[in-house]
């Protein structure tokens, strides 16, 4: 019979001492990184705004490098989150970025701000998509974040339409897994008399609501945060919102993840005033219209240069041009940066035959 090898007990004091040593080294390295970031700021001493120091394309490169090095046990998501917060804190040593977003506090757009910029920024909740654009255009905000599409409910048309009249550029994108929770100040579902939420959230949870709360009134409000506020203040009212809203409005999550589709995801755009250099893995958004959208083959002629130059189009939307009746413009997302040779040539050919052509931005693809 084989003799059992006695396992030595773990020396917790030794492990904790090693952790303390690592913590000391990590803290010293983070502070050294912050000092180097300050040196970058001094090299850009002519820059007048925090936005002049911040380069989304460089940040995307740093995050991709961190992912390529990751060997666990931390997940890729955790590694990205930690590096974002480190970069956010280092940048804030110079001046915190001012970020406008579709508020009020507790919305999914606020969560998108934290995911993209980290928490060391000055978040500015605004009451409409128009206001977000206006604050960035005026310089009151360095960047803005607005929703553009949801995997269940489709395009946010107001965001798309705003690019028809705005000079702003797209500087980045954020994909946020949308987890809808039923919340309120109740002990059970039997006390719920009405559910308040944004119309899109109600639509994304209609199957669950129909099965578990079929006779409860559904009230569409301006935002999920407004629904959470009403749930806090009104007897018998529950809300559908994200976990951030539960924290902000001090509500209990009664049932988590009531969305009908588990892959429910919203894509947000980061808007700013400048075009970006290439990060190496980019996407380009363009606004384009044919001179005569009624003629046979008009859309084909617009798109043909993309196929000929091997450019992948990942999204296309048509919207009324607001110039004349039944005239449409197309919003397209293309793989690559506008400075890439193949895409640059294709865009030049598109511009030649288009009555309206504008590059809305070349920006890094979402990292996680």
Can you give the CATH number for the domain in which 199 is found? 3.40.190.10
Question: In this structure, are residues 270 and 56 in contact, taking their beta carbons and an 8 Å threshold?
Answer: yes
Does residue 350 fall inside a structural domain?
A: yes
Residues of the chain where predicted confidence (pLDDT) is lower than 50: 1
- Domain interval for residue 204: 181-255
Task: Give the pLDDT score at 92.
Answer: 87
Task: Give the pLDDT score at 326.
Answer: 74
Task: Give the pLDDT score at 8.
Answer: 65
Q: Token pair for residue 327? A: 């005239």
Task: Give the pLDDT score at 293.
Answer: 63
The HSE-up count of residue 308 (CA atoms within 13 Å, CB side) is 12
Task: Give the pLDDT score at 49.
Answer: 66
Using CB atoms within 10 A of its CB, is residue 95 exposed (0-12), middle (13-18) or buried (19+)? middle
Task: Give the pLDDT score at 259.
Answer: 94
How many domains would you assign to the chain? Answer: 3
Q: Please check whether residues 149 and 76 belong to one and the same domain.
A: yes
List all residues 6 or more positions away from 358 whose beta carbon is below 8 Å from its beta carbon. Answer: 286, 287, 288
Q: Please check whether residues 186 and 170 belong to one and the same domain.
A: no
Does residue 141 fall inside a structural domain?
A: yes
Q: Please check whether residues 163 and 91 belong to one and the same domain.
A: yes
Q: Please check whether residues 270 and 140 belong to one and the same domain.
A: yes
Does residue 33 fall inside a structural domain?
A: no
Question: In this structure, are residues 100 and 144 in contact, taking their beta carbons and an 8 Å threshold?
Answer: yes
Does residue 132 fall inside a structural domain?
A: yes
Task: Give the pLDDT score at 353.
Answer: 85
Task: Give the pLDDT score at 140.
Answer: 95
List all residues 6 or more positions away from 138 whose beta carbon is below 8 Å from its beta carbon. Answer: none
Q: Token pair for residue 146? A: 């607005």
Percent of the chain with pLDDT over 90: 70
Q: Token pair for residue 351? A: 């511009």
Q: Please check whether residues 190 and 237 belong to one and the same domain.
A: yes
Q: Where are the alpha helices (DSSP H) in the chain?
A: 12-43, 50-53, 56-69, 76-92, 108-117, 129-138, 157-162, 199-204, 206-212, 224-233, 243-248, 298-308, 341-353
Q: Please check whether residues 67 and 162 belong to one and the same domain.
A: yes
Task: Give the pLDDT score at 346.
Answer: 96
């Amino acid at each position: 019979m084989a003799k059992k090898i006695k396992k030595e007990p773990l020396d917790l004091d030794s492990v904790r001492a090693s952790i303390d040593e690592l913590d000391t080294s990590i803290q010293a390295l983070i502070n050294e990184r912050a000092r180097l970031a300050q040196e970058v700021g001094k090299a850009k001493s002519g820059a007048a705004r925090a936005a002049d120091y911040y380069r989304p394309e460089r940040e995307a490169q740093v995050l991709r490098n961190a992912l390529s090095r990751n060997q666990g046990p931390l997940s890729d998501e955790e590694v990205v989150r930690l590096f974002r917060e480190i970069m956010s804190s280092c940048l804030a040593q110079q001046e915190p970025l001012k970020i406008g977003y579709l508020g009020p506090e507790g919305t999914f757009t606020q969560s998108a701000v934290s995911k993209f910029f980290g928490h060391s920024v000055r978040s500015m909740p605004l009451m409409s998509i128009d206001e977000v654009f206006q604050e960035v255009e005026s310089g009151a905000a360095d960047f803005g974040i607005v929703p553009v599409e949801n995997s269940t409910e489709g395009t946010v048309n107001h965001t798309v339409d705003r690019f028809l009249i705005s000079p702003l550029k797209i500087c980045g994108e954020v994909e946020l897994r949308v987890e809808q929770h039923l919340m309120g100040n109740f002990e059970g579902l039997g006390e719920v008399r009405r559910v308040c939420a944004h119309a899109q959230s109600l639509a994304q949870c209609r199957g669950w609501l129909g099965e578990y709360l079929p006779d409860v009134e559904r009230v569409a409000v301006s935002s999920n945060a407004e629904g959470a506020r009403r749930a806090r203040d009104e007897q018998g009212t529950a809300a559908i919102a994200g976990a951030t809203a539960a924290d902000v409005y001090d509500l209990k999550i009664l049932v988590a993840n009531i969305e009908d589709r588990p892959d429910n995801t919203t894509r947000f755009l980061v808007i700013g005033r400048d075009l970006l250099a290439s990060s190496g893995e980019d996407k380009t958004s363009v606004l384009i219209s044919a001179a005569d959208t009624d003629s046979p083959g008009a859309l084909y002629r617009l798109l043909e240069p993309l196929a000929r130059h091997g450019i992948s189009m990942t999204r296309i939307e048509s919207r009324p041009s607001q110039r004349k009746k039944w005239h449409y413009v197309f919003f397209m997302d293309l793989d690559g940066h506008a400075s890439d040779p193949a895409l640059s040539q294709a865009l030049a050919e598109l511009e030649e035959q288009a009555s309206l052509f504008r590059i809305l931005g070349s920006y890094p693809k979402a990292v996680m």
